[in-house]
Amino acid sequence: MSSDAPNQPKPEEDGVNVDATQSKKAAKKEAAKQQKRAAAAAAAAVTAISLDAPDPLAAHYGDIPLEDLQSKSVTGREWTEVGSLAEGLEGRTVLVRGRAQTVRAVSKKMAFLIVREKGFTVQCVLSVSPDVVSLGMVKFTTGLSRESYVDVEGTVSVPHSPIKGASQQVEIQVRKVYCISKAVPTLPINIEDAARSELEIDKALQAGEQLVRVNQDTRLNFRVLDLRTPSNQGIFRVQCQVENIFRQFLLSEGFVGIHTPKLIAGSSEGGSAVFRLDYKGQPACLAQSPQLHKQMAICGDFGRVFEVGPVFRAEDSFTHRHLCEFTGLDVEMEIKEHYSEVMDIVDRLFVALFDSLNERCQKELEAIGKQYPFEPLKYLRKTLRLTFQEGVQLLKEAGIEIDPLGDLNTESERKLGQLVLEKYGTEFYILHHYPLAVRPFYTMPCSDDPTYSNSFDIFIRGKP
């Protein structure tokens, strides 16, 4: 017992250690309280200034009056398209105009604004900072209704992590924001709902979640809003490119663009129903095809002609292959010696079309694929050509009997497309040398076998 006594601390020393520790803790607590009080006081002071005093940055945000939109002057300002915002613009000051797709307030001092233009979106960040962003600017922005038209000016920055809520992988650090046209607070369609894929909805249902599905009738009733979805923006732009490529290619091949009548006295093509109407007391109908007038142009020594125009057919079938109105891409050309000359043009035309879309419309195709998933088309540099007999033989080898002098039905066409893909690795091919009995009256019979004709169809994924 006595031998351990010298190692025990003295009572007075122990007391001194306890007091020192407690005093340090108390000092730290007091310092923390003072910091909190100081921060609260500073925040209160800022809020008081923002509420009671005029905002020195008031000119950097707000609603643009109508009189300021009446083409008073040309300022020389340049807008940057949202779709062109990329990392190469980091540090640049840009001005963008688009729809306020979403607004998310993080706090009174910070908010995120997603701006959409032509289907592309960018994240805009507002963070209160002296002489740059005020509390009033944040409050104004968070009060914007969805789909309002806005101008945003700021500096492009590149975040450290990928941005999931926008198509562009850069941000705009906002310095100015103006509302050009304010949308109503409640819209009949939310763009996010209208842009949702069926696959996404089905996955949510399997997970026990409920997502809004925008039906076709609702889309058509509010078509202006539906057109704003990224997929629809992409579809119309791809359609435009298809027409442009079609025209450019054929013009380079010596074709002449023509415009044929769409209001005619009688049916222009057999096998299709027509829309009949009264034309000043005379019977008339909408043109089912420009076929007759294209052939008139060839007989009129034009040599090669094409047309991009509307086609009307009074179809009663409710399938995606039967349309009452569509835009036709029609070609007609004289043949020097062999109908393969036409197939040569078709071959090069479609390969050029596929190549150009893959090269020029990557963003549009990606936007379409998010809502309507699809696989890239498989095609050959030199398009595969099969005779009708060869196609029938492929089907026969697969256990499908087809009349060698009859036509292919929808199911056999689809099956043949699968067989061609498996054997030749292409989803695009030409089937020619059809039986004469199933082709139009003006089709030329084959020289070696008049039961067949010098005609062809083109197939994409088993569909002509």
CA 123 to the chain's CA centroid: 18
Q: Which of 56-70, 241-255, 310-324 has the lowest mean pLDDT?
A: 310-324
Q: What are phi and psi of 157, to 5 degrees?
A: -135, 160
Q: 187 pLDDT band (50/70/90 cuts)?
A: very high
Does the structure show a pLDDT above 50 at 45?
no
Alpha carbon separation from 102 to 70, 209, 249, 350, 449 (Å, rounded): 28, 22, 42, 40, 67
pLDDT at res. 11: 44
Query: Of the spans 7-16, 261-270, 333-342, which averages the highest pLDDT?
Result: 333-342
Does the structure show a pLDDT above 50 at 402?
yes
Average pLDDT over residues 32-53: 53
Given a contact cutoff of 8 angstroms between Cβ atoms, the answer to whether 170 and 158 are in contact is yes
> Which tokens in the block code for residue 353?
């079309």
CA 461 to the chain's CA centroid: 22
Percent of all residues in the chain with a pLDDT value above 90, rounded to a whole number: 79
pLDDT at res. 457: 96
Strand partners, 429: 384, 459
* Closest by CA position to 278, among listed 286, 268, 290, 267: 286
- The CATH code of the domain at 229-357 is 3.30.930.10
pLDDT at res. 125: 98
Q: Where are the domains of the chain?
A: 61-66+77-181, 191-228, 229-357, 377-463
pLDDT at res. 19: 53
Does the structure show a pLDDT above 70 at 75?
yes
- The CATH code of the domain at 61-66+77-181 is 2.40.50.140
On the question of a common fold for 61-66+77-181 and 229-357, the answer reads no
Q: What is the DSSP letter of 13?
A: H
Given a contact cutoff of 8 angstroms between Cβ atoms, the answer to whether 372 and 197 are in contact is yes
Does the structure show a pLDDT above 50 at 290?
yes
Q: What are phi and psi of 270, to 5 degrees?
A: -75, 160
pLDDT digits (tens, 9 = 90+) for 129-157: 999 999 999 999 999 999 999 999 999 99
> Which tokens in the block code for residue 42?
């500073």
| Separation of alpha carbons 281 and 393, rounded Å | 54
CA dihedral (436, 438, 439, 444) in degrees, to 10, reads: 0
pLDDT at res. 2: 43
| Separation of alpha carbons 327 and 459, rounded Å | 18
Angle at 70 between CA 65 and CA 76, to 5 degrees: 100
